[in-house]
Structure 1
């Protein structure tokens, strides 16, 4: 009996110790905490979703408090995203992330942040606000228990700095840079396969028009990079580089931008008579979610904002007077430039990459007149040809801190336009409205003036005029609209029109998603509000699938080997392209699309280049052009030298589709329902390792919607089953007749702290397409306050 009681006491002690260990790591949302450098006490009301409503006497007090409460919920996210941007993941994750660290060291984000900060005025309002915010983070880190993940990875806390914030801004700009992954693929197709194979890729851009700019030189104006210049070793290295680039964006559950929807309706189109703003940026899913919601109130400033790690200025926000959302511009502001093998005008320096559990790796970085040499990212797989990176993010003044500081306060058209003009890179569409009735959109970003010979979709030749730049077009040449007569503006990543018809090279998304939104929002007999707008944001249909299938229906019928198959093709022929969870037609279409891609492209490209092509946006626009052309050389089998017809390839893809779905999902059509094959799990950076996935990951949930639909829950191109990788990172609806009744949702929860009640409390509601109120009015805040924290000097 005595032994039994001793064992019981041991279990109780362990349980109490575990409880204490967990409790000390949870955010403190009530009581009183001392925070240095405050001018007066700050009150923080936490609502039912864990959103802090910060009431402060001054803006600097508000930002310092924001830093503290943001760190309470998201300190590990802050730590990981700065390590990713600065190439320091391997110090805590080991050898598996060395390639990614090499990549981000090569991009010079940390080095650029250091030099960029030297150009900033430390006494500017933006810098003072940033430093107050970072001080709040550092005070939390210095006085509270480390996050659980710090213990598991052995992370030693170190202060957060402005260099970290600017480095992370560079990572976000890089996540927009599709050219890094696209240009090697297109160059390979052109130089190794020939111009006939390029015809399915729509690379046209608007003409320059009448704008007056320096005349390009006509000498050496060749549009082709000789295939003899890039060797087999070069292609292998460029494929490896694209693979590392993709892994950097998806394998570590950290935020990367992929697309977005945003629209704004003038009062003439709304039930209330005031503008209505909607937005849902498409970003990779993760735990914690990318956005941190917080409401800041001072006598001179108020904003309900959506904040990213280490940034005190909201990238999305609203108040009683105005609000905005954003989408990706998707302009091409990055060029890869091939140098001669013996290029000698290079500077070099060496860095050490710390690697957990082994000796540090020495990395030599080279720079040229055109920009950093990216070969270093490949380690021992260095190509024969040096490849330079010219990137507007590294080449412009880019006062992006001032831009968003100003945008957080832009209550008039003139202020918002001026703030947007300060965003140089990455390219963003800023969609804005105010309670006075104005609506507007500005495509923000510096567009380089390239030589007339330049084809920026390909790797450029440094020895020709292709690589020349003649400055940047003025902001007035960027696409933009203010108070259009039609009464609404839609932004959905498709190619916009330039007011002065300047070139807009880029990697734009298909127009189908935008066309679906315009089709619904342009209906003349509907007056819009935050209720009927929800169905538009949650839309599961576009015209893309029927458009892709239409030219292939004859080939599909010819491929059917049974009555059951013919009946299934009949259903696809009548299908309107809707992707609800209870339908099997989206599953059949999505698997068939992948099998068709494999049967068409793999033999010409090889596995590495084919996989990289699937990770570009150009494949979306290429597919409809391919299927509409039965004589395309892509239908032939290059491996066997066989001239095949489109019908043969479509038949192969169709039979492979049925075989695979039967194998992995079962023999019954009901087993193929979209919600069973297409699921969403929110992955934590440590959740890739079992059994930590059970502890940290959230989900999985049946996911409606799909790739390039308004409800853009996308898994990319692969074979069933599909894990959703990115989609709406929040959904917001704001009617400026009653902005205090705005609606929104977080895909997971406010908190990134495991065992906290707000770690995943919104995940189920998000997957069901529900919305929550975003409290702005004082009475609503009081009524929904669950706890109150006071920060005192």
Structure 2
């Protein structure tokens, strides 16, 4: 029986090892939680810096000058988010494989090929110190110095030990390349153009036009032929979309003029919609010096706030969705490409990708006059990418810096002119009562025949840009007569048809505007209800169409229950609502039948586009559209109502397997995914969720699904909610999905989650008095002696 005794001791030993590992993990993660009180020496400071933490854990930095403040910001941000910062910069620079391995090699190839780091480096090299804003540059260097001191002296997060590496010091190129990734995540062209060109070769021009966001009257194909091999390229772009960094997926923002507010001052509201992640993407902090003050939302690795406000002004943003990216099919002969009547040489650059556990991978990227050829990731070797990010005068970091340092509207407006990518709507309000909006980013001017949501011809010269729209000619608003500015990713109000974009439907824009027009005495408490509303005004005409189609049948049992719940639904997508479940799930079933000519891969890719919802609503209003005819019933011609009935029957078969709980929160759930939690079993260890969530796609509370493979799970939503009344900018309202810290043992790791899902807010403090009255700790950073 010795083997039994051996087995017993083996089990005891295994349990002891696991217990020791768990104890070590918990002990070390407690050790990594940053101190919020005490004294720390921070080299590079010229004077003492004080960091006060409020009750939500937000750091408020008080310094004698900006350089010291940015050094402190870099130190405190690294102490809370270092692993996130390192993964994000590696993504921008195409260096994930160096620490993760071959699993992310294709992602690195994509970002090396499109040139996020290459063009960022070129911009740094081409911008001599005489061109750079010296204060911006000094602030960046001070920030990075603070980050690097923490890397040298602080406890590294557990993730670094799990992956077995130590982060290298941060340099300016890391910040610039990461901003390149953010621009990439805004680009709709890479998701849309290749797919539309594939579909355009599959369907008639008449049917294809209906699939587009804004159909033209064109009755013939006018785009480059697409080889089926490009489906591989489209798949790789989808892979890049699954990289360990959330992408921007929409946004709401609005400004209310003094004449419509109870306080008599302008009001600003902003909630950018970004893919959910753990930690959440924004790092919230305030900075205070004798000459500068800002309450900001910072991106990890960037020292200047992308969202912010001070006592004088504030701003929010939404994705503009202007089409700033095109793909050209090149005509090539060896190392030359045909361009405007002659053969020109392709330029080459060589990249080396370090891969953990294997030899480095060499990558050669060719560039045509249009941009980088994506031959490194495509067998076709003739597809070029033209993108406003590649423009030499793209000074996005300076745009952010100038907006954050503006003291009045003209200074702020100047800052908006600096960036060429990404494309953003900037929504502005100030203490003087001004409200305004502008578009940040370059907007191409194309020939009238060009349809930029398809692949273009690179050889003929007929599809070339005619230039870029001047800033003064871009859509903008300043103190409109109705006292309201609303931005929700729809086509800019009053913009010319020549302006091309992959706009969202008007759902959120129309719903928000409808709410705001109802009164002229808005305050922040009332606006909380608007910003967290689970309502979409467009459903008020969509549901009757579905009901009319279904009521022709004499339903019984579960079918009658579902029909009654849909018919009596209050149009609110709350977690406990059964009517919301029936509505949203039925729409998906109808869409699958409506597009039954699509392959599963095509349907999922189209499902990722804003065009699907627009096409669906357009089809509901066209009951005899050819798209309603089902492929599987040859000899029959179906119309809208028949398809809706069939979809309803399919839905009920699925619901019957779900038991008695059909509440929306069962189907619509959110999970906050850690960069290392994208595969089993680490997902159970690192991720938060799933948990029921209100809202839904194109609802004001836009907790939305991205694609159709994940059912109705919410993959993106409000990354923060902000409400600022300039009658009292010293105390505003806001919320983050999780918290300010990336450390699981920190009290600020997920301390805002419950409030966020409930639609509640916390206070944001700007004045020193309010900060000190609500302080949990006081950390003093001192210079070296």
TM-score normalized with structure 1 length? 0.91
Question: Offset of 1:374 from its aligned partner?
Answer: 1.8
Question: Offset of 1:328 from its aligned partner?
Answer: 0.8
Deviations 1:27-60 (A, max 9, x none): 1222111111111010111111111110000011
Aligned partner of 2:81 in structure 1 is 74
Checking the alignment, whether the CA contact within 8 Å between 1:547 and 1:624 is kept in structure 2 is no
Q: Distance in 1 between matches of 2:127 and 2:188?
A: 29
1:634 matched to 2:627? The reply is yes
Which of residues 536, 539, 543 in structure 1 aligns to 2:533?
539
Deviations 1:517-573 (A, max 9, x none): 01111113x411111110000111112334334334343234665365245335434
Q: Distance in 1 between matches of 2:228 and 2:485?
A: 47
Q: Distance in 2 between matches of 1:721 and 1:450?
A: 38
1:292 matched to 2:283? The reply is yes
Checking the alignment, whether the CA contact within 8 Å between 1:42 and 1:61 is kept in structure 2 is yes
1:698 matched to 2:688? The reply is yes
Checking the alignment, whether the CA contact within 8 Å between 2:29 and 2:157 is kept in structure 1 is no
Q: Distance in 2 between matches of 1:14 and 1:177?
A: 43
Q: Distance in 1 between matches of 2:714 and 2:743?
A: 23
1:206 to 1:607, Cα distance in 2 relative to 1, 3 A: closer
Checking the alignment, whether the CA contact within 8 Å between 2:457 and 2:463 is kept in structure 1 is yes
Checking the alignment, whether the CA contact within 8 Å between 1:287 and 1:684 is kept in structure 2 is yes
Aligned partner of 1:219 in structure 2 is none
Question: Offset of 1:277 from its aligned partner?
Answer: 0.8
Aligned partner of 1:598 in structure 2 is 592
Aligned partner of 2:112 in structure 1 is 105
1:12 to 1:598, Cα distance in 2 relative to 1, 3 A: closer
Aligned partner of 2:563 in structure 1 is 569
1:465 to 1:586, Cα distance in 2 relative to 1, 3 A: farther
Q: Distance in 1 between matches of 2:388 and 2:26?
A: 51
Which of residues 415, 425, 449 in structure 1 aligns to 2:445?
449
Aligned partner of 1:86 in structure 2 is 93
Question: Offset of 1:10 from its aligned partner?
Answer: 11
Which of residues 702, 723, 731 in structure 2 aligns to 1:733?
723
Aligned partner of 1:217 in structure 2 is none
Q: Distance in 1 between matches of 2:195 and 2:625?
A: 18
Aligned partner of 1:35 in structure 2 is 42
Aligned partner of 2:395 in structure 1 is 399
1:722 to 1:33, Cα distance in 2 relative to 1, 3 A: same
1:510 matched to 2:500? The reply is no
Aligned partner of 2:434 in structure 1 is 438
Aligned partner of 1:216 in structure 2 is none
Q: Distance in 2 between matches of 1:240 and 1:516?
A: 35
Q: Distance in 1 between matches of 2:28 and 2:536?
A: 50
Structure 1 segment 81-480 matched on structure 2, within 5 A = 81-122=88-129, 124-204=134-214, 224-225=222-223, 229-234=225-230, 236-248=231-243, 252=244, 254-340=245-331, 342=333, 344-345=336-337, 346-378=346-378, 382-383=379-380, 386-480=382-476
Question: Offset of 1:20 from its aligned partner?
Answer: 5.0
Question: Offset of 1:15 from its aligned partner?
Answer: 8.6
* Equivalent position SS for 2:72: helix
Q: Distance in 1 between matches of 2:373 and 2:570?
A: 48
Checking the alignment, whether the CA contact within 8 Å between 1:184 and 1:458 is kept in structure 2 is yes
Checking the alignment, whether the CA contact within 8 Å between 1:134 and 1:162 is kept in structure 2 is yes
1:276 to 1:9, Cα distance in 2 relative to 1, 3 A: same
Q: Distance in 1 between matches of 2:205 and 2:19?
A: 74
- Larger deviation, residues 19-28 vs 74-83: 19-28
Which of residues 614, 637, 651 in structure 2 aligns to 1:621?
614
Q: Distance in 1 between matches of 2:215 and 2:626?
A: 24
Structure 1 segment 483-562 matched on structure 2, within 5 A = 483-497=479-493, 501=496, 503-524=498-519, 526-558=520-552, 561-562=555-556
1:364 to 1:412, Cα distance in 2 relative to 1, 3 A: same
Checking the alignment, whether the CA contact within 8 Å between 1:277 and 1:432 is kept in structure 2 is yes
Question: Offset of 1:231 from its aligned partner?
Answer: 2.6
1:776 to 1:637, Cα distance in 2 relative to 1, 3 A: same
Checking the alignment, whether the CA contact within 8 Å between 1:594 and 1:719 is kept in structure 2 is no
Question: Offset of 1:454 from its aligned partner?
Answer: 1.1
Question: Offset of 1:16 from its aligned partner?
Answer: 7.8
1:728 to 1:347, Cα distance in 2 relative to 1, 3 A: same
Aligned partner of 1:45 in structure 2 is 52
Q: Distance in 2 between matches of 1:521 and 1:284?
A: 27
Aligned partner of 1:211 in structure 2 is none
Question: Offset of 1:508 from its aligned partner?
Answer: 0.7
1:84 to 1:105, Cα distance in 2 relative to 1, 3 A: same
1:657 matched to 2:636? The reply is no
Q: Distance in 1 between matches of 2:569 and 2:207?
A: 31
Checking the alignment, whether the CA contact within 8 Å between 1:181 and 1:245 is kept in structure 2 is no
Deviations 1:260-281 (A, max 9, x none): 1111111111111111111111
* Equivalent position SS for 1:706: coil
Question: Offset of 1:69 from its aligned partner?
Answer: 0.4
Checking the alignment, whether the CA contact within 8 Å between 1:454 and 1:465 is kept in structure 2 is no
Question: Offset of 1:641 from its aligned partner?
Answer: 4.5
1:14 to 1:285, Cα distance in 2 relative to 1, 3 A: closer
Question: Offset of 1:788 from its aligned partner?
Answer: 1.1
Q: Distance in 2 between matches of 1:11 and 1:610?
A: 45
Query: Structure 1: which 5+ residue stretches go unaligned?
Result: 208-221
Q: Distance in 1 between matches of 2:19 and 2:194?
A: 61
Q: Distance in 2 between matches of 1:448 and 1:99?
A: 30
TM-score normalized with structure 2 length? 0.92
Q: Distance in 2 between matches of 1:116 and 1:205?
A: 38
Deviations 1:74-111 (A, max 9, x none): 10111011111122212222222222111111110010
1:628 to 1:787, Cα distance in 2 relative to 1, 3 A: same
Aligned partner of 2:604 in structure 1 is 611
Structure 1 segment 629-778 matched on structure 2, within 5 A = 629-638=622-631, 641-646=634-639, 647-663=641-657, 665-666=658-659, 668=660, 671-718=661-708, 722-778=712-768
Q: Distance in 1 between matches of 2:390 and 2:232?
A: 24
Question: Offset of 1:498 from its aligned partner?
Answer: 5.1
Checking the alignment, whether the CA contact within 8 Å between 1:70 and 1:292 is kept in structure 2 is yes
Q: Distance in 1 between matches of 2:711 and 2:121?
A: 44
Checking the alignment, whether the CA contact within 8 Å between 2:605 and 2:707 is kept in structure 1 is no
Question: Offset of 1:627 from its aligned partner?
Answer: 2.2
Checking the alignment, whether the CA contact within 8 Å between 2:354 and 2:360 is kept in structure 1 is yes
- Larger deviation, residues 357-366 vs 405-414: 357-366
* Equivalent position SS for 1:469: coil
Question: Offset of 1:375 from its aligned partner?
Answer: 3.4
* Equivalent position SS for 2:284: strand
* Equivalent position SS for 2:211: coil
